[in-house]
Amino acid sequence: MKVDVLLGLQWGDEGKGKIVDVLTPEYDVIARFQGGPNAGHTLIFGGKKYVLRSIPSGIFQGDKVNIIGNGVVLDPSLFREEAESLAASGHNLKERLLISKKAHLILPTHRILDAAYEAAKGDDKVGTTGKGIGPTYTDKISRNGVRVGDLLHNFDEKYNKLKAAHEEILKRLDYDYDLTELEAQWMSAIEYLKEFTLIDSEEEINRYLASEKSVLCEGAQGTMLDVDFGSYPFVTSSNTISAGACTGLGVAPNRIGEVFGIFKAYCTRVGEGPFPTELFDEVGESMCELGHEFGAVTGRKRRCGWIDLVALKYAIMVNGVTKLIMMKSDVLDTFETIKACVAYDVDGVEYDYMPYDITEGVTPIYVDLPGWKTDMTKMTSENEFPEEFNAYVSFLEQELGVNISIISVGPDRDQTIIRDAE
């Protein structure tokens, strides 16, 4: 049995949570493989809005197994807040959520370090969410981290040792902080976390595969935020690409089946970093307003721009994408002309592929396509699509070399059209 992977192809916020929820009925197991509470997967159905940060988006399907994998970093305080909110909505997590013992814990001092490091960078800040993600992955790589499985062993010793090391760094940074309340909440949340089933996730995943159970691996953030292949240093601290599913869950590369790549019909980015097609005019403002482009976790306003096919082709290549899923098509319903970036002009040299550095001197080269000027939010079949929209989809498929199998025309799970085209 193969595992399928679902991930974002842009700078995050592509709509992964909704699509995981749509695809979940086809799978037995949904597993998150990287990232932490800096992710925000928004799902809207039944007139209610849910934002998931660490918990897999398959949690709303009662008969599915959900796994938080070893590649995830987990903040017990934020996890409890998220879990209790879902429990209050009638979703019994303790019966359907498993947590890897090898997942690393975000300590209270990790969050304080995150703020201290960002403050020390001044104008060179990266624009982190302040959730302690980077410092936690730093401790993981330097072999100093505290893992979920340590809760069952010598937890106090490991916690106090790492906390002392963090406080020494904060002292050198001359950063003022108060740990008392944050730590008290965190310690209480640790006891709550212990109530869940903690597993050797790599064994569990492969056991499911051996018994012919279907598994969907859910990624967080987006390809252009990958620590190795994204717009470094303005990236997250983990591998957001399909290869991250192997290291973040313990599945072999030859186990990867379909790779679903999700993208918006335009582009957005939150925080700092390069964004070649960013718009600073009323068109960009209109995209932001129509698309409700504000971070699910941070609330920060997202930067908006036209679709970037140079970056998309790059993302498709490094992920081995087999099926494309286009989100927020309806946001472009009112535009007279739709632009698509097909190449970059970098200091007078034209690139149709992703160059090493896109931080400055990059001018997008656009192709103009006619807008469809039609409200698509009530459409339920691709047979209803206007001619101009079909032309836009065909253009994208020709440029990207992969079929678009699902098109979203609104935020609700019902506003999702599965295409017949192969």
Q: Catalytic residue numbers? A: 13, 41
20 φ, ψ (degrees, to nearest 5) = -60, -45
Those residues with Cβ within 8 angstroms of residue 157's Cβ, 6 or more apart along the chain or in another chain? none
Task: Give the burial class of 201: count Cβ atoms within 10 A of its Cβ; 0-12 exposed, 13-18 middle, 19 or more buried.
Answer: buried
Identify the CA nearest to 53 among candidates 27, 71, 72. 72
List alpha helices for 44-100, DSSP H: 76-88
- In angstroms, rounded to a whole number, what is the distance separating the alpha carbons of residues 268 and 302? 6
Count of CA atoms in the C-beta half-sphere (13 A) of 229: 20
Is residue 71 within 8 A of residue 247, CB to CB? The reply is yes
- Looking up tokens 């490094």, which residue turns up? 318
DSSP assignment letter at 328 = -
- In angstroms, rounded to a whole number, what is the distance separating the alpha carbons of residues 30 and 213? 11
- Looking up tokens 């869940």, which residue turns up? 196
305 φ, ψ (degrees, to nearest 5) = -165, 175
Task: Give the burial class of 155: count Cβ atoms within 10 A of its Cβ; 0-12 exposed, 13-18 middle, 19 or more buried.
Answer: middle
> Taking CA 316 as the corner, what is the angle to CA 311 and CA 317, rounded to the nearest 5 degrees?
100
Is residue 245 within 8 A of residue 251, CB to CB? The reply is yes
Is residue 389 within 8 A of residue 329, CB to CB? The reply is yes
Is residue 165 within 8 A of residue 142, CB to CB? The reply is no
